[in-house]
Amino acid sequence: MGVTDSPSGPTWRLLVTEPTDGATNMAVDEAIWLGRRGGASPPTIRFFAWTPPTVSLGYGQPLDGHVDVAACHRLGVGLVRRPTGGSAIYHDGPECELTYSVAADAEDIGGGARDLLHSYQWIGRALATGLRVLGAPVQMVGVARGDEPTPAFCFARTGSCEIEHGGRKLVGSAQRRYGSTFLQHGSVLLGVDAGRLAAIFPTTGDPLATLTTLEAALGHRPKFDDVAAALAAGFEREHGLELRPDGLSADEAATVERLVRDKYVTDAWLTGPA
């Protein structure tokens, strides 16, 4: 299934799901990505949250002392490995964070199959537009130098085409590509629990030093649904998309069940690196 042209522009699926556990969240996104790769799923933008709160590790990130597994267990925080790259993120439920994903083909966004920077820019522009709709004065950074060591905590450094407010990182994103298709994840901070960040990332000197939140940018903490609506509007305005709310197909739902069982809840996948 490709992009359908309509009077409002290309049609994408908008998927807003209820908070669920880390294994299910990651399986949903991989199922959509696999479906897009095979031509059975439409290009999709998803907004979601996590319950219980969960630390997601990057695809190739080692599970080592930079993330305190004992603290996660003590605090009731889940652990999962993402299918996308980057560093670890603490997802603190819908009152403090919104996660987005974009699963698409390069042709869906007018880019070449290997044009990684174009896809980051395409998504980053839409996110910035949406956050400005919400009233947040944000900026999309340019191309990062790329010669600095990768931190264990995603928000310790701003990467290419990510979103900042006041020189601090507000949205952290990571991507993985297969052929001409890609899956990108990102975390939008509504608020932050400083104590939990310090406990979970013991080797990160001051987790708050490099990040900010929408609460800080706006003077109040916005609701998850309001942020999701603003971001959807950002994609529509920036790229002329028509986002149609829909759910998973039967095939996608079956793939989710298989991926949860055979991959995302297994110790082999979690302990990696993959």
The pLDDT value given to residue 208: 83
- pLDDT, tens only, 176-195: 999 999 999 999 999 999 99
The pLDDT value given to residue 115: 80
The answer to whether 96 is a known catalytic residue is no
From the candidates 72, 96, 154, 161, which is the catalytic residue? 154
Confidence of residue 149 (pLDDT cuts 50, 70, 90): low
The pLDDT value given to residue 159: 67
CATH code that applies to domain 4-264: 3.30.930.10
Q: Which residue has the tokens 């006041």?
A: 166
54-78 average pLDDT score: 94
Residue 19: is the preceding peptide bond cis (ω within 30°)?
no
The pLDDT value given to residue 207: 79
Residue 34 backbone dihedrals phi, psi, to 5 degrees: -60, -40
- pLDDT, tens only, 230-253: 999 999 999 999 999 999 999 999
Confidence of residue 129 (pLDDT cuts 50, 70, 90): very high
Which sequence spans correspond to the domains of the chain? 4-264
224-235 average pLDDT score: 98
